[in-house]
Chains A and B, each alone.
Chain A
């Protein structure tokens, strides 16, 4: 049972969280032409890194998204930040 730090609620059990996506993916402007390959990259590409990863998670009980940095091998949590800070 891992503990993830929700930036809003504090440390909580992993069962309260939902993995959303790898961080850093930006939705292309779909009012413009987008090639099949670029759209496929947006939909499906994964870095899937072994080691330090940055991911978007949702804390289901407060419904807030945030960025979680952790190690995908040791499972050490390196930190979390609210997503809204990045968005604005």
Chain B
């Protein structure tokens, strides 16, 4: 191993070697390493390139605040883009590739871009490429942008678990304060969850020798055990990425590289935020050189992974918290040279830092560790709507007034001393409120110095320098949001965890305003980048919007039913494997010639019952229903309050107080909701009851001239003759010891019987009717062929032959509008200016010239030679029975234009057509009433 890995120390397993490659070179690390710690341990200094100037980038820090070490990582067949090296655990066999660099991070051909940096500053893109046109420049710019590539591979087993959970108390962060809070709360009997994003608990404890007089590791272990004994739940490698309305917390639990994280939707009674604090960079010349690192990050690398960035290091810090970090490094044998940060200092080195020149003296070192002060991690506080207060002493934003169910403790609360943090943890664990204690933490404010020399980086990944902030200020992009958006400061993968404070402090200094007056940008979730799969989960593919299924699906499959989705149901479009159009035409023809069997089980069946049922149904339908007698059925249109046709259906009156509404298959859910809404709003809900029986009944339709013969084969104990069972009537009886309802209702225009039985009886019914159909020379009828038959008859399908402007009188149903005296839904809207105005689109049929081709559905109707749309073709078929194409359309003033020659316009071609009545089959209704 490299000299930078110490023989002992850290939490890695030195017995388990892991091999990996970076940019093609082989290295090794230990179990427990992150990619970043392993690279550091191997002495890899340049781990990537910056976004804009392709400047070499080294590891900046050890955790979520590292903006630099972003990799494409492959393990086996799995390759993931833009992996954060600092937060990803190393696995054996990983292949790492730096992003945004070619051929590799060390020798990137685009590194030369940096020479032009002075021309590429803030606002560059807004100010140029205006002439002649952005389009000429954009393709090349797009190619240069982006971090890593994403491959097109689909990993079928890359599926995220989604879990719902709840707890009394959620503690976010397993450092000393969080551990004590979780333990205290758990020991009080609360159901506690403690989440910690590292693989092990302890947080900053690893940097402390002793806590409460106990060795830090033993102390952490004792807390962990106590929490578990008290039935607290501990989730490691789990990040709280966001807090949403009503204290819903999003948690992500990592499960190794190959799998996406598991996501919890956790509802927490209260939330204790113990998320810690991050060290800030110091802004000085060339502060982006590889080898310049966060001091706290370096100490963390030592404490957790036994890695030193280098032996000989310069430390520049402005705050009291630095002492502890230095102690960790000292004990590890690092050769630390301390210098006070100065306004004129500047890093030097060619491919990485070789030292810092301070006040004119060159100080050499292999790494430079900087600490600009601690910034509490308050993201979750802001997600939950908490306010922030500026603390002059700490030079940081601290949690201020917050949600009543949330407390911040420890470093996240600005309490950086471990004993005080533990005291806060105890108080919060008990559910007590407490004042933030005074602090011994001190620092010398050290913010960017505008006007100083050299290139001083503020956002390492996005290459935003102090000069960019100065330009933004000069151009009056002074709002902190303008600053961010204009310069892209804080918009990199770390979302400003390193850059934001320096950026807004620079703006404050330039403008001579206090920092809190400049304010912060919005802390937007997620706290860390989250694989999109984590929002997806197992409800994919066929489980995404699952289809509804027919009781007779198996029977349809046996008959080679081409099962397709129609209105949310899986239904047979036609029967047969090969040429669909051939089958559809044959089915339609056979149905007209002899008889056909159609599965109508998906049709809605909603019962409306009770003493007020009659008035209610009369109210929700356009047509008058109250005159309907038991045993009769009536076609009806259901309108919205805007007078628009929402659904059509057939209403059967089963008894004085009992109606059955048969609505469109795809509208059943919305009709049921619609009925419920009106039942409860404005009616007495104790006198009307609504029950959706759709799934309880199966319906088979026998249609065609020989339909009666087929139905006779059921041997029903009733007369099914035209006189006893005329069109639009029904009868209830028993069949096979189960109820059966037989209705004379037709959607084909031919003699039809709809036979409904309890869903479990459907196979038995099929077993009789299907052979009988065959015996009578008939066949099966899929939806596609049915659509032809109903179009021949001029029967509409709502949503296909109507649109969101269609009113009933546009379809020829004019009587209720003129005469119905009772109130009904949508009534008043049928008398607005627009409802009465000429120019409404009305349902018509279309004829083509003899031998003419079918008109494409979706063609528009135009006057000959004109190009202004007068409506459109809604249904169009070749009619095998009539021997010519037929079509339905909705056309401006169509009802009074029958016989007029117009054109169907499609794709810049025109077909001559003649407007006609919608019904072209059995216009007198002889077959229907047979």
Residues of A bordering B, CB below 8 Å: 1-3, 18, 20, 26-31, 34, 36, 39, 42-43, 56, 58, 60, 63-65, 74-75, 77, 83-84, 87-88
Q: A18-B673, A31-B822 are in contact. Are A75 and B246 (CB under 8 A)?
A: yes
A sample of 9 cross-chain residue pairs with beta-carbon separation below 8 angstroms, ordered by A number, consists of A1-B245, A27-B682, A30-B828, A31-B822, A34-B828, A36-B833, A58-B677, A74-B385, A87-B684
> Once the chains are docked, how many angstroms separate the CA of A43 from the CA of B835?
15
Known: A34-B828, A58-B677. 4 other contacts (CB 8 A): A3-B267, A75-B245, A87-B680, A87-B683
Report if A3-B833 is in contact (Cβ < 8 Å); known contacts: A30-B823, A87-B685. no
Q: Which residue of B lies closest to A3 (CB)?
A: B246
CB of B243, distance to nearest CB on chain A (Å): 11
Asked if A43 and B673 sit within 8 Å, CB to CB, the answer is no
Closest-CB distance, A81 to chain B (whole angstroms): 13
Q: Closest approach, in angstroms, between the C-beta of B306 and any C-beta of chain A?
A: 42
CB distance from A31 to the nearest CB of B (A): 5
Contact A36 B832 (CB under 8 A): yes
Contact across chains for A65 and B681 when beta carbons are under 8 A apart: yes
Chain B: minimal CB distance from A84 (Å):
5
Q: Which residues of chain B (647-692) have a CB below 8 Å from chain A? A: 672-673, 676-677, 680-686, 690
Distance between B796 CB and nearest chain A CB, rounded to angstroms:
25
Within 8 A of A (CB), among B818-850: 821-824, 827-829, 832-833
Beta-carbon nearest neighbor of B643 in chain A = A43
Of all chain B residues, the one with the shortest Cβ separation from A20 is B677
Residues on B with C-beta less than 8 A from A29 are 823
* CB closest residue in chain B, given A62: B676
B642 at the interface (CB under 8 A from A): yes
Nearest CB in chain B to that of A77: its residue: B246
Q: B164: shortest Cβ distance to chain A, in Å? A: 9
The minimal Cβ–Cβ distance linking B755 to chain A, given in whole angstroms, is 29
Is B248 positioned at the interface, with any CB of A under 8 Å from its CB?
yes
Which of chain B's residues has its CB closest to A29's CB?
B823
Q: How far is the CB of B719 from chain A (nearest CB, A)?
A: 40
Chain A positions within 8 Å of B893 at CB level: none
A63 touches B673 (CB 8 A): yes
Contacts of A84 in B (CB 8 A): 680, 685-686
Bound CA–CA A58/B675 (angstroms): 12
Q: Is B684 within 8 A of A88, CB to CB?
A: yes
B680 to A, closest residue via Cβ: A65
Cβ–Cβ contact B832 & A39, under 8 A: yes
* Chain B residues with a Cβ under 8 A of chain A: 244-246, 248, 265, 267, 385, 641-642, 672-673, 676-677, 680-686, 690, 821-824, 827-829, 832-833
B677 and A39 within 8 A (CB): no
A39-B829 contact in complex given A60-B673, A87-B685, C-beta closer than 8 Å: yes
Task: Tell me the nearest residue of chain A to B824, going by C-beta.
Answer: A30
From B676, B680, B821, residue with most partner A Cβ within 10 Å: B680
Please, how many angstroms separate the alpha-carbon atoms of A88 and B686 in the complex? 10
5 tightest A-B contacts by CB?
A1-B248, A65-B680, A75-B245, A30-B823, A63-B676
Measured in the bound complex, the distance between the Cα atoms of B827 and A34 in whole Å is 11
B828 touching A83, Cβ below 8 Å = no
A84–B683 Cα gap in the complex (Å)? 9
Q: Please, how many angstroms separate the alpha-carbon atoms of A74 and B681 in the complex?
A: 28
User: For A1, what are the chain B residues with a Cβ–Cβ distance below 8 Å?
Assistant: 244-246, 248, 265, 267
Within 8 Å CB of A27, what residues of B?
A: 682
Contact B676 A58 (CB under 8 A): yes
Q: How far is the CB of A87 from chain B (nearest CB, A)?
A: 7
Q: Is the beta-carbon distance between B681 and A87 smaller than 8 angstroms?
A: yes
| B828–A58 CB distance below 8 A | no
Cβ contact within 8 Å between B641 and A31: no
Bound Cα distance A34, B733 (Å): 48
Give every chain B residue within 8 A of A56 (Cβ-Cβ).
681
- Shortest A32–chain B CB gap in Å is 9
Q: Give chain A nearest CB distance to B536 CB in angstroms.
A: 16
Nearest residue, chain B, Cβ from A66: B680
Q: How far is the CA of A59 from the CA of B762 in the complex (A)?
A: 32
B248 and chain A: residue at smallest CB distance: A1
A83 with B681: CB separation less than 8 A: yes
B680 and A83 form a contact (CB under 8 A): yes
Q: Please give the distance in Å from B818's CB to the nearest CB on chain A.
A: 15
Pair B827/A30 contact, Cβ less than 8 Å: yes
Known pairs A58-B673, A83-B681, A87-B684; A39 contacts B828 (CB<8 A): yes
A18 and B829 CA atoms in complex are apart in Å by: 25
Contacts of A65 in B (CB 8 A): 676-677, 680-681
| Chain A residues closer than 8 Å to B641, beta-carbon distance | 42-43
Which of the listed residues A2, A29, A30, A34 has the most CB atoms from chain B within 10 Å of its own CB? Answer: A30
Q: Which residues of A contact B267 (CB under 8 A)?
A: 1, 3
* Nearest chain B CB to A46 CB, angstrom units: 14
Bound: A36/B680 CA distance, A? 26
Which chain B residue has the least Cβ–Cβ distance from A73?
A: B385
Most buried by A among B244, B681, B684: B681
A34 to B683, CA, bound (A): 21
- Assess the A2–B246 pair: CB atoms within 8 A: yes
A64 to B673, CA, bound (A): 10
Known A36-B832, A87-B682; judge A43-B677 contact (CB<8 A): no
A36 and chain B: residue at smallest CB distance: B832
Q: Please give the distance in Å from B171's CB to the nearest CB on chain A.
A: 21
A43 in complex: contacting residue of B248, B672, B686, B829, CB < 8 Å: B829
Q: Which residues of B contact A36 (CB under 8 A)?
A: 832-833
From residue A15, how far is it (CB to closest CB) to chain B in Å? 11
Complex Cα distance A20/B683, Å? 16
Most chain A CB inside 10 Å of its own CB: which residue of B245, B641, B672: B245
Complex contacts, B829 vs chain A, CB 8 Å:
39, 43
Least CB distance from A76 to B in Å reads: 9
